[in-house]
Amino acid sequence: MADENKSYGLAWFLAGLGVGALVGILYAPKSGRETREDIVQGTREGTEYLRARTRQAAEEMSAIVDKGKEQVSEYVDRSREAIDRGRTQWEEFVQRGKNLVTEQGGRVTAAVDAGRQAYQNTAGTGTPEAREY
């Protein structure tokens, strides 16, 4: 509600400013032709000023957009590099895990075979007590 009152106040101020400028022009000590030429000249200058400022603002916005694109591209490249490093590390960890499982599996197999051999040696040539098991 307060923002609406401020915008109405600003609108009335600008309207009063325009009316005051118009009254000043009408009661100016210059002739009508001179006044019209001054108005036309002021309008041309204002138009040229607005064009120049618009061009400048467009160039600034273009520079900002280009800089933003560069930063986004840099962040994307960094992210890809981080993902690639992570993927490489993950593959190394998986390979280490596979090697460890294979190695431990071989040890377990060797231990089981040694246990069977020991059992067979004990069961086949051992004492009668050992055969009961």
122 assigned to some structural domain: yes
Segment 42-71 mean pLDDT = 93
The residue to which tokens 């051992």 are assigned: 126
Segment 68-92 mean pLDDT = 95
7 assigned to some structural domain: no
18 assigned to some structural domain: no
What integer pLDDT is reported at residue 2 of this predicted model? 57
Query: What is the tally of structural domains in the chain?
Result: 1
In the chain, % of residues over pLDDT 70: 86
100 assigned to some structural domain: yes
CA distance 28 to 38: 11
Amino acid identity, position 36: R
Segment 27-48 mean pLDDT = 81
pTM of the complete model = 0.44
Q: Which band of pLDDT confidence, cut at 50, 70 and 90, is reported for residue 84?
A: very high
Q: Which band of pLDDT confidence, cut at 50, 70 and 90, is reported for residue 5?
A: low
The residue to which tokens 């400022």 are assigned: 53
Segment 99-127 mean pLDDT = 85
What integer pLDDT is reported at residue 122 of this predicted model? 86
Give the structural domain span for 104.
Answer: 30-131
Q: What residues contact 25, with CB distance under 8 A and at least 6 apart? A: 35, 39
What integer pLDDT is reported at residue 125 of this predicted model? 61
8 assigned to some structural domain: no
What integer pLDDT is reported at residue 76 of this predicted model? 95
Q: Which band of pLDDT confidence, cut at 50, 70 and 90, is reported for residue 94?
A: very high
4 assigned to some structural domain: no
Q: Which residue has the higher pLDDT, 107 or 129?
A: 107
Give CA 126 to chain center in angstroms.
76
